[in-house]
Amino acid sequence: MQSNKISFKGQNIYVGIDVHLKTWHVTTLTESGCKYSFAQHADAKELFDRLNKKFPGAHFNSAYEAGFCGFSAHYALTELGFENIVVHAADIPTTGKEKALKTDAVDSEKIAWSLKRDELTGIYIKDKDYMDDTNLMRLRQRFIKDLSRLKNRTKHLLYTQGVTYPERFSKNGTHWSRNFMKWLREEVVLLSEEKRTLMLLCDQVEHIRKDILAVTREIRRLSTSDKYKENFSLLSSVPGFGLITSMSMLTEFDNNPMRFPNERKFVAMLGLIPTCHDSGEKKVSGEKINRGNKQLGPLIVEASWVAIHRDYQLGCYYTNCCQGMKPQKAIIKVARKLACKAYAVMKTKKPYVLS
């Protein structure tokens, strides 16, 4: 008896997924260009079952934009047999018409077509073993930002209430000490007899401080573990690289900055290379690129302000740069050089020697 069942064995099916919280819009393309589009719940198993029924025996190549869901959808898809990549939204070719008529269906279709034409390059997928370490470092940075906001709110309250600082707290460096917090709670007099808002703000400041201390202790313990001990010792020899900068770099890059083939790609990942606009004989270099790791880039710049005071060579380079540009731009050039030095330390496995 002859079977009429169609088999896609040995064929590739290209799957573009527009990922949202509750739904996914999916567009599939066969090798001959036949399109099949649908919407479904945000579930990888449901997608696999549907496609496996529609295209039995096929090999599924899929892609979706990096976004709020992180890599959870990627792991779910790959475990089911999909050959999946996660792509940066800016790397997906888009026409003017697609920008003007943007829908979920359009987004998933352009991903599918770009995937079929081999126009997409996936971003680096983090190892599961390093995800919690990375989240721990990022959590500390969020706590630091929260603390800064609370301090600003407290000072704004004092300004609006006409509170003047006593002589012992006239310098900003004396603020937020134990004595300063005691002054806020016991001696500050506001326009109203009640100080509930001030007391609540002080409570929040102290609470966030305790959270930051707990996270920092955990990071310090992590730096002495067998997992990071060797590489942390190397990076911490670089001027300006302390506990937070060194551990942030190791966790963001899965304890392996050497996955970058050269210094330029490493610095580009940090977002420390300038934009360029060349046309004919005119060549213009602009600000540093907007892409790159948003966690590490600012930390390297902060480390550079310390490094120029500790390393003679970097300090001399900074001074020379300042002759032709503003200090804020000069420090970015120092940050690039400092990042290259950190890369060299990791590559050679030799501690940095101050010049």
Q: In angstroms, how far is CA 111 from the centroid of its own chain? A: 23
Which token pair is 288? 């540093």
What pairs with residue 35 in β-bridges? 29
Which residues have a Cβ under 8 Å from the Cβ of 4 and sit 6 or more positions away?
none
The pLDDT, as a whole number, for residue 100 is 87
The pLDDT, as a whole number, for residue 290 is 73
The pLDDT, as a whole number, for residue 1 is 40
Closest CA to 237 of 355, 354, 340, 351: 351
What is the C-alpha separation between 285 and 209, in angstroms, rounded? Answer: 42
Which residues have a Cβ under 8 Å from the Cβ of 318 and sit 6 or more positions away?
304, 308, 330, 331, 333, 334
Residue with tokens 């976004």: 67
What pairs with residue 200 in β-bridges? none
What is the C-alpha separation between 238 and 352, in angstroms, rounded? Answer: 5
The pLDDT, as a whole number, for residue 274 is 73
3-state helix/strand/coil string of the chain:
CCCCCCCCCCCEEEEEEEECCCEEEEEEECCCCCEEEEEEECCHHHHHHHHHHHCCCCEEEEEEECCCCCCHHHHHHHHCCCEEEEECHHHCCCCHHHHHCCCHHHHHHHHHHHHHCCCCCCCCCCCHHHHHHHHHHHHHHHHHHHHHHHHHHHHHHHHHCCCCCCHHHCCHHHCCCHHHHHHHHHCCCCCCCCCHHHHHHHHHHHHHHHHHHHHHHHHHHHHCCCCCHHHHHHHCCCCCCCHHHHHHHHHHCCCCHHHCCCHHHHHHHCCCCEEEEEECCEEEEEEECCCCCCCHHHHHHHHHHHHHHHCHHHHHHHHHHHCCCCHHHHHHHHHHHHHHHHHHHHHHCCCCCCC
Per-residue pLDDT of the chain (355 residues; tens, 9 = 90+): 444 567 888 899 999 999 999 999 999 999 999 999 999 999 999 999 999 999 999 999 999 999 888 899 999 999 999 999 999 988 999 888 888 888 999 999 999 999 999 999 999 998 999 999 999 999 999 999 999 999 999 999 999 999 999 999 988 889 999 999 999 999 999 998 889 999 999 999 999 999 999 999 999 999 999 999 999 999 999 999 999 999 999 999 998 888 888 888 898 888 887 766 666 666 656 566 677 788 899 999 999 999 999 999 999 999 999 998 899 889 999 999 999 999 999 999 999 988 7
The pLDDT, as a whole number, for residue 99 is 84
Tell me the one-letter amino acid at 250.
Answer: L
What is the C-alpha separation between 37 and 29, in angstroms, rounded? Answer: 9
